[in-house]
Amino acid sequence: MSEEKVTVDVVIPVYNEEGVLEQSISTLVAFLHARCPYDWRVVIADNASTDRTLEVAKRLSERIPEVEFIHLDEKGRGRALRRAWMESEADVVSYMDVDLSTNLEAFPPLIEALISGGYHLAIGSRLQRESVITRQLKREIFSRGYNLLIKLLFFNKFSDAQCGFKALTRQAVRELVPLVKDQGWFFDTELLLRAEQKGYEIFEVPVEWIEDLDSRVNVLQTALDDVKGLIRVRFTRS
């Protein structure tokens, strides 16, 4: 990919995040101004928030030229990413969690792998040897158990399916996203599995990651939904 006039979209999917949205976007924008040499924009993807998240997103888009927002009437992180990525005309699309639990220093190598490294997908991994992780034991067990289950079912190469820190080229989005059926948290895993089925090589960046103790994720329900999703993908082809 030529580095001239490369465009990058950073999507932030949000649901009821009025308390942290403004600070997180301000931090992200400051980082991108300092460290991202390409033409970039931040897209807040509000998926059916019931608090003042949409109002905050609108205010940020009015105040910061590089910030835009979209609103979905139905909840679902996968649904929000699908719409934001499919509507994007950027050369590279990415996403990260609104809590910025992944240290932003991992973002430049994530993007460079796509722009100059020849990859079409890049992901942050909390399970690389160089990664530095702070989280509760329960979440650690769930995460490692889930990724081990994926290995047993698919013999996949990537190490961490659900770290909220990923980037794709426009080509990868156009080919892979229509193949993904899930609209929720399993979206990430299905995307990566479909990518490997199609022969894509996935670049992994070790990250520094701190668990958000105010997370909206229902760990048990998400785990059950993920197992159902794995079974579905295991017995269907793209």
Q: Give the tens place of pLDDT for each residue, 80-89.
A: 999 999 999 9
User: pLDDT at residue 24 above 90?
Assistant: yes
* Residue 213 and residue 132 in contact, taking contact as beta carbons nearer than 8 Å: no
> Please, what are the domains in the chain?
7-234 (3.90.550.10)
Q: Which residues contact 78 (CB under 8 A, 6 or more apart)?
A: 180, 182, 183, 184, 185, 186, 187, 188
Express each pLDDT in 209-233 by its tens digit: 999 766 666 667 777 889 899 999 9
Express each pLDDT in 95-134 by its tens digit: 999 999 999 999 999 999 999 999 999 999 999 999 999 9
Which pTM was predicted?
0.94
Locate 189 and state its tokens: 């895993």
Positions marked active-site = 188
Mean pLDDT of the 168-177 span = 98
User: pLDDT at residue 34 above 90?
Assistant: yes
Locate 175 and state its tokens: 């080919």
235: buried, middle or exposed (CB in 10 Å: 19+, 13-18, 0-12)?
A: exposed
Specify the pLDDT at position 238.
62
Locate 73 and state its tokens: 């009437």
Positive or negative CA dihedral for 171, 202, 122, 143? Answer: positive
Question: Tokens 């590089």 appear where?
Answer: 66
User: pLDDT at residue 65 above 70?
Assistant: yes
Mean pLDDT of the 34-47 span = 97
Specify the pLDDT at position 41.
98
User: pLDDT at residue 135 above 80?
Assistant: yes
How far apart CA 89 and CA 96 sit, in angstroms, is 19
What is the pLDDT confidence band of residue 67, given thresholds at 50, 70 and 90? very high
What is the pLDDT confidence band of residue 1, given thresholds at 50, 70 and 90? low
How far apart CA 111 and CA 155 sit, in angstroms, is 26
> What is the Cα Rg of the chain in Å?
17
Specify the pLDDT at position 143.
87
* Residue 66 and residue 41 in contact, taking contact as beta carbons nearer than 8 Å: yes
Specify the pLDDT at position 218.
67
Arithmetic mean of pLDDT over the chain: 94
What is the pLDDT confidence band of residue 141, given thresholds at 50, 70 and 90? confident
Q: Which DSSP category does 202 fall into?
A: E
Which residues are 93's β-sheet partners? 9, 168
Q: Which residues contact 110 (CB under 8 A, 6 or more apart)?
A: 94, 122, 123, 124, 165, 166, 167, 203, 205
